């Protein structure tokens, strides 16, 4: 026994200890070190009892045993250890709630899902996972009945047994096909490719490139985990607000040139004031009380909130999102609402919603589309005879309570999100006949803030533009002019591209790299640096990926390892793998995975910069980092390179019972030595390994 103490549950058998520790160190399992040396193994088992006896005699002779009563509880349930475990459990709970947008265990009709990736388990695997104990018990009883009990036995206990092959979370992982020569090899997302590569490199070194080149070039994963979750979906950023905080805290000293970039508005108190409101943010903020029984009550609460905001302005614009069935934005909304079954409601004054939670009411895309029209009309009715100028945007049309409020060219639009409609209306509201207007934008969305920074840095707007965000004590007003001056004109123009590149809603983010880390490094750059120029070109007609790839590759390297001198992704991946033992999502993406990400970021930037016109042309997604898969849907491209070298993807291995010396052995037939992954026994085709001398002790 390995006895650390006399406290229960802290004694482990020697073989259990060895298996646990070695399993962590050796993916393939098995005992290494002294157990491969017969002489050392014999000495180990002969000397172990004598060592224990010596230790016991020492304790008895010198009275080293404590007089205090023995502790009867597990050491992890007392003292600071228990406090630490309690605090850690609280942190885990907060992490789950934040990652899953609420407590996933409190939802009704929740589908079985992976908490790490938010991947829903397919229906054909759900029963196997949830009922594995029952199915195992059933098979055990069947085994006893058919093979053990004499009165019911139908077969021998030694007869072969058929595996039931229960599906697990692992078998539900993303699969892909990789072309190797003229063959298509199916691979499932797991983390065994690197292990397979190392074994092949050891046994067949002539078939493998150097380890440094291979680690730098290949992901060793079907899914590039630095950009995707295990189910093949793009990672969704959960910390976009840190982008705003970093810019708020920016206090770069301004040069005289930067100060003269923007015209300072005159301080006239009587200037016309306009507010532009993100309508769905108001909808989300409404609290359903017991008196809110019908949809008409909900509409009244919404109108009251709008009136409260507009009361201090001469003009108000209320902007709703547009909801499209098969858009990429809809996919993002769907992933965020994992576990909630969408329920469709008929929206009218008499619809009873007393017992309907707000999340359920907003769960179906058709319901939300009808709700935007219903609430928009309610606002227009409220201000039909008002002296205030009110504009409401829902669907593809813009409605006004007075003529000539907006530019006729923007009456009809093709935008999907209010995020891009808001800056378009800011630009429209700022174009007046000689009057300077102050514009306040009410929105909690980081995207809107970034678009306003891009808008202000690219256009000469005379009045103030303020971004009002947050709730309660966190509510604050951010002056866009001041922030553009602090960041600098050129870098402000590149923020939109950086935002899309570092993590947008439906463009993906880098695993383990926060938004604040990207923006903080960006703010340290010189205004005329190549990286700033590259981000400015995102979404523009003259964007050329080849001309910016090297610059962005260097920028990514700087963010991942600012103290490293590596500016090539392959070299940095090898350095981090070699010095810090990092792999998978902890490494930066390969160049083959980064290039499709650059394409997606450019396409997203082009869509976002579409705020400049009412009917922008949307880039073709299949030409910009997405592809059409077998079921006809659009899916992001994972990587331009195969997950591993061909010799690893299509691994030749045998299961011979003989010496592997004939053509019946697949390895021998292909002139390849057998590897440790082969299932052969007494093999004469294995490559030469350095086996230590039998008399030499090995301590591993």
More confident residue, 461 or 520: 520
Residue 465 has pLDDT above 50, yes or no: yes
Q: Output the average pLDDT for the chain.
A: 79
pLDDT for res 59: 75
Q: What residues are paired with 504 via a beta bridge? A: 508
Q: Of 554, 515, 516, which is closest to residue 533 (Cα–Cα)?
A: 554
pLDDT tens per residue, range 287-329:
888 889 999 999 999 999 999 999 989 999 999 999 887 776 6
pLDDT tens per residue, range 536-592:
999 998 899 999 999 999 999 999 998 899 999 999 998 988 888 777 788 899 999
Most confident of 38-52, 90-104, 594-608: 594-608
The stretch 41-60 carries a mean pLDDT of 77
Q: Return the CATH fold of 271-486.
A: Rossmann fold (3.40.50)
Q: What residues are paired with 179 via a beta bridge? A: 184
More confident residue, 334 or 654: 654
- String of b and e for 373-410 (b: at least 16 CB within 10 Å)? ebbbebbbebbeeeeebbbbbbeeebbbbeeeebeeeb
What number of other Cβ atoms are within 10 A of residue 168's Cβ?
13
Confidence at 68, pLDDT banded by 50, 70, 90: low
The stretch 668-692 carries a mean pLDDT of 68
Q: Decide: 405 and 266 in contact? Cβ < 8 Å.
A: no
pTM for this structure?
0.71
pLDDT tens per residue, range 521-537:
999 999 999 999 999 99
- 588 DSSP 8-state letter: P
Lowest pLDDT segment from 31-40, 141-150, 482-491, 650-659:
31-40
Domain boundaries of the chain, sorted by first residue: 15-62, 77-106, 123-169, 271-486
pLDDT tens per residue, range 2-18:
444 455 444 444 455 55
pLDDT tens per residue, range 158-207:
888 888 888 876 666 655 554 444 544 444 444 566 666 666 666 666 66
CA angle 510, 222, 670 (to 5 degrees): 145
pLDDT for res 176: 52
Q: Across the chain, which distance is largest between two alpha carbons, in Å?
A: 103
d(CA 672, CA 207): 10
pLDDT tens per residue, range 341-394:
688 899 999 999 988 888 888 888 899 999 999 999 999 999 999 999 999 999
Confidence at 336, pLDDT banded by 50, 70, 90: low
Confidence at 21, pLDDT banded by 50, 70, 90: low
Q: Of 675, 654, 526, which is closest to residue 197 (Cα–Cα)?
A: 675
d(CA 319, CA 280): 8
pLDDT for res 360: 87
The alpha carbon of residue 15 and the mean position of all alpha carbons in its chain are separated, in whole angstroms, by: 39
The stretch 404-433 carries a mean pLDDT of 90
More confident residue, 278 or 270: 278
The stretch 411-423 carries a mean pLDDT of 93
pLDDT for res 481: 92
pLDDT for res 690: 41
Q: Is the dihedral of CA 507, 509, 510, 516 positive or negative?
A: positive
Q: What is the CA radius of gyration of the chain?
A: 32
Residue 278: phi, psi to the nearest 5? -75, 105
pLDDT for res 538: 94
Q: Decide: 601 and 555 in contact? Cβ < 8 Å.
A: no
The stretch 252-279 carries a mean pLDDT of 61
Residue 127 has pLDDT above 50, yes or no: yes
């Amino acid at each position: 026994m390995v006895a650390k103490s006399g406290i229960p549950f802290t004694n482990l058998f020697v073989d259990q200890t060895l298996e646990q520790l070695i399993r962590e160190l050796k993916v393939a399992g098995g005992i290494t070190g002294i157990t491969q040396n017969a002489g050392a193994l014999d000495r180990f088992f002969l000397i172990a009892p004598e060592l224990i006896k010596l230790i016991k005699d020492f304790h008895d002779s010198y009275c080293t045993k404590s007089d205090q009563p023995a502790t009867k509880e597990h050491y992890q349930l007392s003292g600071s250890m228990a406090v630490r475990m309690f605090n850690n459990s609280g942190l885990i709970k907060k992490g789950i709630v934040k990652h899953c947008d609420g407590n996933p265990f409190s939802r009704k009709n929740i589908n079985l899902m992976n908490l790490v990736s938010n991947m829903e388990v397919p229906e054909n695997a759900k029963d196997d996972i949830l009922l594995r104990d029952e199915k195992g018990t059933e098979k055990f009883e069947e085994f006893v009945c058919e093979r053990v009990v004499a009165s019911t036995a139908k077969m021998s206990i030694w007869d072969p047994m058929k595996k039931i092959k229960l599906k697990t979370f692992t078998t539900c992982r993303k699969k892909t096909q990789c072309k190797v020569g003229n063959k298509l090899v199916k691979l499932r997302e797991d983390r065994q490719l690197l292990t397979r590569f190392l074994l092949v490199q050891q046994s067949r070194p002539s078939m493998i490139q150097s380890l440094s080149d291979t680690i730098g070039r290949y992901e060793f994963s079907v899914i590039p985990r630095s950009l995707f979750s295990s189910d093949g979906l793009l990672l969704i950023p959960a910390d976009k607000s840190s982008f705003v905080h970093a810019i708020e805290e920016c206090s770069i000293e301004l040069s005289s040139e930067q100060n003269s970039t923007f015209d300072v508005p005159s301080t006239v108190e009587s200037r016309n004031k306009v507010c532009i409101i993100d309508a769905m943010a108001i909808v989300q903020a409404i609290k359903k009380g017991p008196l809110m029984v019908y949809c008409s009550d909900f509409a009244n609460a919404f109108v009251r909130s709008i009136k409260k905001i507009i009361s201090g302005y001469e003009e108000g614009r209320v902007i709703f999102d547009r909801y499209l069935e098969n858009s990429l934005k809809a996919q993002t909304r769907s992933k965020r609402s994992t576990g909630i079954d969408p329920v469709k409601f008929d929206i009218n004054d008499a619809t009873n919603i007393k017992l309907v939670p707000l999340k359920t009411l907003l769960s179906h895309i058709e319901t939300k589309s009808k709700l935007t029209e219903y609430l928009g009309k309610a606002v227009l009715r409220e201000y039909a005879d008002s002296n205030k100028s009110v504009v409401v945007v829902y669907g593809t049309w813009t409605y006004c309570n007075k003529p000539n409020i907006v530019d006729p060219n923007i009456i009809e639009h093709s935008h999907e999100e209010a995020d891009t409609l808001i800056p378009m209306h800011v630009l429209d509201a700022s174009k007046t006949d000689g009057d300077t207007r102050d514009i306040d934008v009410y929105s909690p969305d980081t995207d809107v803030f970034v678009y306003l920074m891009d808008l202000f840095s690219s256009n000469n707007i005379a009045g103030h533009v303020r971004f009002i965000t947050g709730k309660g004590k966190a509510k604050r007003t951010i002056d866009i002019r001041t922030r553009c001056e602090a960041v600098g004109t050129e870098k402000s123009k590149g923020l939109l591209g950086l935002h899309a590149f570092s993590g947008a809603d439906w463009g993906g983010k880098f695993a383990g790299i926060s938004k604040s880390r990207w923006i903080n490094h960006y703010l340290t750059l010189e205004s005329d640096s190549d990286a700033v120029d590259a981000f400015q070109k995102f979404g523009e007609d003259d964007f050329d990926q080849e001309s910016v790839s090297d610059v962005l590759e260097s920028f990514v390297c700087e963010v991942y390892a600012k103290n490293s001198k590596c500016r090539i992704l392959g070299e940095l991946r090898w350095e981090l793998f070699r010095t810090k033992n990092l792999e998978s999502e902890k490494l930066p993406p390969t160049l083959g995975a980064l290039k499709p990400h650059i394409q997606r970021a450019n396409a997203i930037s082009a869509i976002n910069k579409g705020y400049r016109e009412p009917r922008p042309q949307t880039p073709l997604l299949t030409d910009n980092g997405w592809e059409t898969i077998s079921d006809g849907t659009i899916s992001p491209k994972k990587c331009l390179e195969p997950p591993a070298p061909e010799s690893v993807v299509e691994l030749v291995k045998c299961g011979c019972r003989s010496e592997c010396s004939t053509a019946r052995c697949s390895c021998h037939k292909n002139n390849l030595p057998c590897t440790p992954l082969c299932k052969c026994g007494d093999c004469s085709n294995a490559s030469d390994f350095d086996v230590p001398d039998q008399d030499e002790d090995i301590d591993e």
